[in-house]
Homo-oligomer: A and B are copies of this chain.
Amino acid sequence: MPGKTDLSRLNCSLARALGAVGDWWTLLIVRDAMFGVKRFSDFQHSLGIARNILSSRLARLIEADILARQGTEARPLYVLTAKGRALLPALVALMQWGDAWQSDGKPPVVVTDTAGRAIKPLGVRSPSGASLDSAGVRFAPGPGADKRTRAFFKARDVADSD
C-alpha cells in the first residue's frame, strides 16, 4: 500500500515539480551539481549520503531530464541539463529562506554574480516590479485548471470572509 503517492492527480505545477524534486536528497544533489560536483564519489562524499540512495536518486534525476550522464560509461560525469539549471531560482530562494529563518545569521554559502557581488534576495514581483509579500499575492485558476481546481478556488473566495 505505501509507496510514493501519485501526485499527478493534483492539478498543480507545484505538485508536478515536487514529483521530480520533492525529496531532500534530490535537491541537495542538484545543489551540489550547481556547485560543480560531477562524480558519483564526490556527491557521495560531500553529502554523506548512502550509496544506494545516491544511485537511485541520480537515476531518477536522469530519468526526469534534470541531470545527464557524460564522460565514459565507467567514469560518468553527472551534469545539469537546461531543465536542471532552471531550478536555480527555487534553490536559491530556499537557501535564502534557510539563511533568514533557520540559521545563526551567518550564511555558510553566498551566492554572487561573476564579479563577486552578492545577489539580491529573490522575491515575488508584480508586473511593475513592485515586491510582493504573501498578502499582496492572489492565486487563481489558470488555463490548465480542471473542474476540481476551479471549485477549490471558488470555495476559497467564499471562505475568504472567514
* Chain A contact residues, CB within 8 Å of chain B: 5, 7, 9-24, 27-28, 31, 34-38, 46-49, 80, 83, 85-127, 129-130, 132-134, 136-146, 149, 152-153, 156, 159-160, 162
B144 adjacent to A106 (CB under 8 Å): yes
Identify which of B11, B17, B24, B28 contacts A95 (C-beta below 8 A): B17
Q: List 20 A-B contacts (CB under 8 A).
A: A10-B28, A12-B108, A13-B98, A14-B98, A16-B102, A19-B24, A86-B101, A88-B133, A89-B122, A90-B90, A90-B94, A107-B142, A108-B141, A108-B142, A109-B145, A113-B130, A114-B138, A116-B138, A117-B126, A120-B126
Q: Is the interface of A mostly helix, strand, loop or mixed?
A: mixed
Q: Are A86 and B90 in contact (CB under 8 A)?
A: no
Q: How far is the CA of A29 from the CA of B49 in the complex (A)?
A: 27
Distance from A134 Cβ to chain B, minimum over Cβ atoms (Å): 4
Chain B residues within an 8 Å CB radius of A112: 137-140
